Structure 1
């Protein structure tokens, strides 16, 4: 430490100290007390004025989202601090990219002088120690990576042995009061878990079970554990069908330790990604079961038997565009039979559908066709102010002349034939799904009729293209046909709707609110 401060009165110093759990194993030299003593000795020797001391105890150097470090950055932004001192460069951080960012860009731009005592780094003077700073940062990063691998290896070994290494056990269990890495039954909520399995065994759906628990005011696992969410939505504090389903599938309740469902992206990120079930680590008979295996497997069979009905999806023109005005969530679509026995799609509020008895929102039930027709009529009304046939014909002529390749009849005929072939293959596949029971009779009939009509339309179009190939028409005639065809189909084009409309909201009183992407369209509507 041969650093000299020629003008100490010009500086307001931040002493930054960091200690992670990995650093504690290196001995007392890395302790907070030792770092603080070393830094205070330096500032006294050079008669520096300390603005504040910032301590992150128990924080890894691979992340810069540390409370004390961010507080120091805040003081730098408000010009309260213009010098930062650390024991060594690794105290600042072990991510060489972010360390380099602060060293080479942030501190110089903010006129902050950085000093690392043991490394001899001082950005306020020209020094050979400063030149090798990037290599020191890389070495610190490599050290962090090596430590991360060792920790990951140790955790994986414990998981393979059936030891629990998570933060909190699943709902219904708690940490053993004396033995580390072991879980025991939490008698306070164990009856609720057993009751959930009992209700499922009677054939009750996950949604219905969630409704019963919400009606009785039973706290959710998150509420019971005291987890705080940053953003609270309409579902906060309520049981959901997804939560119930996850519990009913969790083998932890039959005494098997299930871990490794998710992994961190890297040692530099806290974000986790879900693992495929084949990569989960499952060790049998590690703790006392809450539910017997026979009950568990019967419940799983019941869940699997309803899998196809729960995953049924419907195609409709306004998909992804329509939302509940009151709660803001996308509207769900359900299929119901009318009094005449015909299938009809209805919009309903997804929040109400999941939490009917909780009073979070209302039904908003309305026929899908009614809303679609109203939206198309509004779009037609607006587009008529802009779409003039003579203007469109001019555009069509220019398109024909400048883009002849796409309008070549051979290309068009080939494309239509491919579409007809794909539709035929899809119809064959649907028929096989119907025979195997994967597709219900109602769904098959609805989808079959729609695709059959589409194929008939394409076949007629193919005949017309083949006729035009034999007797070519003028660009004027073709442009008129193109314009006429566009005006007939434009208003029911999903591409046009998505281009014009940002979102559609349905109110409790069935009022339809259309929010366009362009302000001038809002004025017309």
Structure 2
């Protein structure tokens, strides 16, 4: 059914990740489970084979976060799920004018009075102009100087990453060796119980300790896998960005397809002078690839996915 498909596309487990501590209880006396906040969950990436590829999963999450239905004129907000307030983190919602040129965005928390945040008013045409300008420069750089772009995006922390990878492999071997030893110990202990050389009480005590240690080591292995997969995931993001830049050569307008291919998130700051018609907003564009070192791409400084641009 449609509900089943939607539940699958909303569940991170189907893109190969393990999510722990999704719910909690305030007391052991209470049976009711409470949904945990994302920052208190433990997420381990790529722990099993994925059914849904990550690009599709991320795209669906942005769709669910944004507006699902068209307005009375049949138009959809192309920035739904992409545009956020840089100060409070709320989504910016579209306000349609008499014509497309009059469309604007405002902070959701400001409108609902959920916080003391300000309007962050900005016109859609202004965002289009900034996004187009930034996209053309960065995609041209990625397309025409692909090797340089790749090296700059991947270079920072490469030495540290390799050292971390070596340490991770060393720990992995130690954990796996210890898990195998514990498995053999449990098997031997079981045979001793069957033959009567170990009492049932002694067996339960020793086996329980071995199994607890095994469980803790397996949990640590999952954490190691999550750390090592960060490097390969970063490389894939950079290569996908370059491939899309070569595939989509002419970027003439901002469309949902363009946003899906190149951009992950856009953050809008408030004007330094409120209500000013001359003062402009500052915009951060987070592209679909991740970086750990700031580098400049044709005049645009890329630093931790953030691209500050004066509007």
| Band the TM-score falls in, shorter-chain normalisation | 0.3 to 0.5
Q: If you compute each CA radius of gyration, which structure gives the higher value, 1 or 2?
A: 1
TM-score scaled to structure 2, two decimals?
Answer: 0.34
Tell which has more relative contact order, 1 or 2 (C-alpha 8 A, sep 6+).
2
